[in-house]
Each structure stands twice: as structure tokens, then as C-alpha cells.
Amino acid sequence: MPLVNLVGGQGQPGWGFSHHQDHLEIAQAASRMLGKSLQLMPLDPVSDTPQWKRQHQAMHDAMNRALGLPQGRDFTGEMNDAWHDANWREHAAARAKLGI
């Protein structure tokens, strides 16, 4: 199930789990369809710490490279509405590229 674009996402109940599941579905599809392996790191619970943000950034960078998508936003900054919108857009682009 695709990630929903929510304002204030991490404050919404279940967002962290849904976000991690979306990364998992994208990684599984990339493996199945393209033979590409994407490393998953724990994303739930969501944390506003530098370590969580670096792990999340690394996952997006690897996902975009593997799928031939442009490198997007820097996700190591403030987790505001623009962050959530850009995160959703990258997930949506990955899903579109994979046809899932």
C-alpha cells in the first residue's frame, strides 16, 4: 500500500510503520523486477535524531540510484511539511518507476 502524503506525517498515528512498510515494498519490487538489492534500516519508530535522518537519507539515495531517479531533497534537515511532501514525492516516483 503506498505511503499517504500527510501534513505533519510523523505526528500521525502509524505513519512511521507505514513509511517503513513503503520502503520495504519498494525494496522488494526492486529486487523482484530489477534484481537490485536495497538495504533497509529501521525507520519505525521515527526519530528526529541525526542518526535516523542519515539512515533515511542513505535509503533514499540508494533507492534513487538503483531506480535511475534524480537525487532529491536532503532529508537530514527539519522534518516539516515540505520534508513530508518531498518524501512522499520520492516514494511515489519510485512506485511509478516500478509499476507498483
Q: pTM here?
A: 0.89
Place of cell 515540505: 82
Predicted pLDDT at 15: 86
Residues 6+ apart with CB under 8 A from 70: 64
Residue type, 6: L
Taking only the tens of pLDDT, the chain with its 100 residues reads: 566 555 555 567 788 899 999 999 999 999 999 999 999 999 999 988 999 999 999 999 999 999 999 998 999 999 998 999 999 999 999 999 999 9
Predicted pLDDT at 52: 95
Q: CA 45 to CA 13: how far, in whole Å?
A: 11
Predicted pLDDT at 22: 95
Predicted pLDDT at 24: 97
Predicted pLDDT at 13: 72
Predicted pLDDT at 4: 59
Pair 69, 94: CB distance under 8 Å: yes
Q: CA 81 to CA 71: how far, in whole Å?
A: 19
Predicted pLDDT at 63: 97
The closest alpha carbon to 67, from 41, 29, 19, belongs to: 29
Q: SS3 for 22-62, per residue?
A: HHHHHHHHHHHHHCCCCCCCCCCCCCCCHHHHHHHHHHHHH
